[in-house]
A and B are shown apart, each in its own frame.
Chain A
Amino acid sequence: MTLRMTAVVAMASAVLLAGCEAGTRSGQEAPVGTASTAQIKAPSLTGGDSSANLQKRVDQALQGKTIAWVPIALGIPLADIWTQVMRSEAEARGMKLEVRDPNWNTTAALQAVSSLIAEKPDILVVHNPNVQLYAQELARAEAAGIPVIQVNMVSNQKTTAYVGADWPKVGRLLGEEIVRSCGKGSGSSGKVAIVQGEATSAVSLEQMQAAAEVLGKDPSIKIVSNQAANWDASKAHDITATVLQQHPDLCATVGFWGVMQTGAAQAVKSAGLQGKVKVYASGSDGKLDCDNIDSGLITKFLNYNSSSQARSVIAIASFMLQTGLPPSAVRMADYSPLQWMEKGNYDPALCYDTSKPRSPAK
């Protein structure tokens, strides 16, 4: 009897499949690398065109276009700032921002990306959970003619644009800062704890390599702990609390993301070591990060300014739509300028409060 059930399922799926049209095959068929000029079919323009015509052409290219955006999760300052700024910037140009929230679930995230490709947005913006997960899908998206912009965490599959921090540089700057305060001649124990994010994400991989290189040059620096907290503040807290029990003389802890490192900072504070153990992090221009700096939880912070990253994303999207270039014609990156912030020594304009959006006038 259950045999019949199986037959019915099979028939139902057959009907489902039969009722559909032929689709495209997935795969990494998109040409990689810079395209030759022959492939680029941008309209040739005269320099003496009127401003009104320019305005018209821009409107034609942008009005009603859809930018699809898949962060790892919403509800965190980083992603919320990106989303808020991207939306207001996009809407100011007559475009629409479609957001999918996988809520840290990579399975859902991958499905979101896949399904967006089926829906054919004009631009796809992704925040890669790790270097491999989306690789195939991003190639598939470009093959389907959708330019893909990757934000802050890059995939092994490079696409039209990467907008985000230069992570080796972040790693190097943080490493040099640590060497300055914990290295030879600092009079400290030289013990350093590293709290990585998701170990398979580009942020962790690239930052770690660069930092390790710098730290390795100073023999008095000892890395006593190097663990991945997977962007989770409570995990960072637990790891750091344990490290502090073993090494109360820890010189510094460095975290790969401000929000996560808040957990480590709290552990330092509850161990009564605030001020003695230096807490370093890099992160966005969120209000939370600024508050942590003000309250002394974070000693020194490297800001990559996520609100301006969001503006870059929209600018590149606008560029792709206005030029009509095929996705693979461009392989660019816009590395975010970095700024050091420490208590009493930073520009308050660097703190973006999502409850007070800086929306452009409409």
Chain B
Amino acid sequence: MSVASSSVNGGLLRRLRYRYSARLLLSELLGKRWMEPAIPFALMIGLIVWFSMVTTNYATLGNAQQLGREFAEAGFVAIAMALTVISGGIDLSVGAVFALANLAALVFFQLYQWPVGLVIVATLAIGAGIGAINGFLIGYMRTRPFLTTLVTLIVLRATVDLLGQHFSIPLAMASRTSWTWDVLGVGWIAKLPSNLAILGIVAIVGHFLLSRSRPGWHLTAIGSSRKAARHAGIRVERVLFLTYVMSGTLAAAGGLFYAARLQSSGSDTGIGWEISALTAVVLGGVSLAGGRGTVARALIGAVIVFVLVNGLVRMGFPGALSSTALGAVLLIAVGIDVKWAKNRGKAIQKIYVNPTMVELPPSPSITADGGTAFAENTRLQASEEIGLNQVQGPEDIILDRQDRLYCGTREGWVLRFSGPNFEHREVFARIGGRPLGMAFDRDDNLIVCVGGMGLYGVTPAGKIYKCTDQTQRSLLKLNDDSRLRLADDCDIAPDGTVWFSEATIRYEMHSWFLDGIEGRANGRLIAWNPKTNKTRTVIKNAVFPNGVCVAHDGRSVLFCSSWLCTIYRHWIEGPKAGQTEVFAENLPGYPDNLNRSSDGGYWLAMVGIRSPTFDLMMRHPDVRQRMIKQLPPDEWVYPGINNGCIVKFDESGRALESMWDPGGTKHATVTSMREHKGWLYIGGLENNRIGRVRLPDADPAWNGCDAYWGAKS
């Protein structure tokens, strides 16, 4: 269900237009890693379709099989090249290794009459051996890949020529055949040409190895930055060595299949294949700079090159022209590669923020003499300081049964202040991420929402454990929303279920304020059941859900929607269970954390106060869109999040009183507060302190742990 736009003005069409934006789809599409080869993939399909239309008998099973058989060997060489390019290098010797392997396999099989198994092993070993020489020089001796493999290429080519002349006459006369050899060359595996089937297996294994395994990640990391990879403890030399061994072996596998298929020891075998392979790899979207690419992309590129050359040959283009076309394609691909790598991020940035329409009624008065419960005063200025300059950004605060004060910090720690005046500061837990909302469970474990990580727990002894970091994925969302990006605040229902908000799934901790410019329903309310360890998204499409508080009777959960300036009540028990209703709306500011008060009401922190300007901007998405496009980020109009207040509500959602710090000298941002034994403790996302003010009328014995879980002896 959606609680996106509560106030309804303006045309339905206009609202729909902003709610479902094509730009949004595009920006999220561009952000996907699998979108990088989208253009090559489309080109590949386009070429195949086009040649099917202009060439006779192209789209027939027989032709597809024939093409597949001819393609497979080039596919092996392309993967070989891709591995080295992803590792930040290049292997120019692939074509020569291919040729040598072809000749070797023919000599072993035809002249030495070895059994096929031995021929395969020996041929692959030759490729691996040459790869090992390349890898040793590049990995351990740190020679330049380009020059090293260029030299290997020249040496191997000369070797192939010499050996070729020596063996050409006996090879031309030889005619040994064997069943296994024919399977390798002209056989079938599951209706696929054998070489294509094996290429497919190698590609799938290679793809997972490269993109889903530790060695593959190491390889990619080295390609991105050899230095950083070394600093990260990756054994750069060994990984590079193995990469070139793999490359040599794959190229040799190509040569082996070629030998079995054609029995041809022609001296120009493999000439120029390194260029076609390089073209294929770059065309498929493997970056020449290294660190970016997959086996699938290399193969997409290889198919394009193959289909293009094959198609031009078929259409009777003069040979020189097809070579030129291939060269031109390489040039364009390299150009696009450079431009794409450089500008993709920028392009996404330009279109990622997609403002939608938020219509708020005029804000209630906050002036000192306005007569509302929000009337400005100076009550927060009397606050006492705790941990002044010892704490960075205590977004949320909480106190335990021993009156110790906890807060999360920018460093990713949970700090604990203890002693009569909280003068003793210690790091209670180093969780990492950005600790935000907190709550104690029945067993005094501290449950913490950690931005960038998920929901975590810390035992009283300080041991950290993960509660949950994912929920079910929405089927129709491009952004993978199964992972928790920005768990914000949590509270715990009597049955132990942890209710928590995830403010947005489109932005990270460092860019959450962009969600404010967008105003879209990107957040959700999630429940984690510790007994079953199940995580369930209860409400999706909530607009920046922030503070969460289980009502005093435990039958409903209150949660704030910051950009809609509204608090909702979601029923979890009783006749209305599952329904969501408005608790309080049209607040004068952006609501943040929400907590119980001792008198049966709720404290609300407002992180910022609305301004008529921004309210107007929120009504006009186009203006914000133009602003994002045309102005640098530091000149954008953001929701005001620099001066807030604390408001108290009763159980019915009526605002009772407020506490202010005009000018923000002590509490520049107020994102949380917690009542504890007659004091109200105050935290702020950007503050350098925790504050507390005495609540003269409050129950001096009331505290959160007892209120939630009952007194403990």
Contact = CB atoms under 8 A, between A and B. Distances in A.
B268 A104 contact: yes
B320 A75 contact: yes
A315 interface: no
Contact of A156 (B172, B269, B320): B172
Contact of B61 (A21, A27, A209, A230): A21
The B interface is mostly helix, strand or loop, or mixed, namely helix
Contacts of A16: 48, 59, 64
A4 B322 contact: no
A271 interface: no
A111 B175 contact: no
Given A110-B70, A118-B57, A199-B165, A129 B316 contact: no
A24 B64 CA distance: 11
Interface stretch (B33-41, B545-553, B563-571, B577-585): B33-41
A156 B319 contact: no
A34 interface: no
Contact of B318 (A74, A119, A204): A74
Interface string B7-35: 00000000000000000000000001110
Given A74-B319, A132-B265, A23 B60 contact: yes
A21 B34 CA distance: 32
Contacts of A106: 264, 266, 268-269
B63 A23 contact: yes
A8 B212 CA distance: 18
A294 B642 CA distance: 96
A9 interface: yes
Interface string A222-266: 000001101000000000000000000000000000000000000
A245 B161 CA distance: 22
A17 B64 contact: yes
Contacts of A8: 41
Nearest to B319: A103
B268 A112 contact: no
B309 interface: yes
A55 B463 CA distance: 101
B377 interface: no
Contacts of A22: 61-62
Contact of B314 (A115, A130, A227): A115
A106 B258 CA distance: 12
A53 interface: no
Contacts of A204: 168
Contacts of B207: 2-3, 6
Contact of B62 (A19, A24, A108, A205): A24
Interface in B312-336: 313-314, 316-320, 322-323
B314 A112 contact: yes
B266 A26 contact: no
Pick from A114, A209, A227 the residue with the most CB of B within 10 Å. Answer: A114
Interface in B195-234: 204, 207, 211-212
B272 interface: yes
A73 B204 CA distance: 38
Nearest to B320: A103
Nearest to B312: A108
A9 B296 contact: yes
A5 B34 contact: yes
Contact of A119 (B57, B59, B171, B319): B57
B318 A200 contact: no
A112 B313 contact: yes
Interface string A126-144: 0001111101100000000
Contacts of B322: 103, 108
Contacts of A19: 59
Contact of A1 (B32, B41, B204): B32
Pick from A99, A205, A209 the residue with the most CB of B within 10 Å. Answer: A205
A104 B267 CA distance: 11
A23 B70 contact: no
Contacts of B104: none
A120 interface: yes
A20 interface: yes
7 nearest interchain CB pairs? A23-B62, A103-B319, A20-B61, A132-B264, A199-B168, A1-B34, A133-B264
5 contacts: A21-B60, A106-B264, A111-B310, A114-B66, A133-B264
Interface of B: 32-34, 37, 41, 45, 48, 55-66, 70, 74, 161, 164-165, 168-169, 171-172, 175, 186, 204, 207, 211-212, 261-269, 272-273, 294, 296, 299-300, 309-310, 313-314, 316-320, 322-323, 480
Interface of A: 1-6, 8-9, 12, 16-17, 19-24, 26-27, 73-75, 98-108, 110-112, 114-115, 118-120, 129-133, 135-136, 156, 196, 198-200, 204-205, 208-209, 227-228, 230
Given A17-B64, A112-B313, A200-B168, 10 more contacts: A1-B34, A3-B207, A16-B64, A23-B62, A23-B63, A26-B186, A106-B266, A118-B66, A136-B261, A199-B165
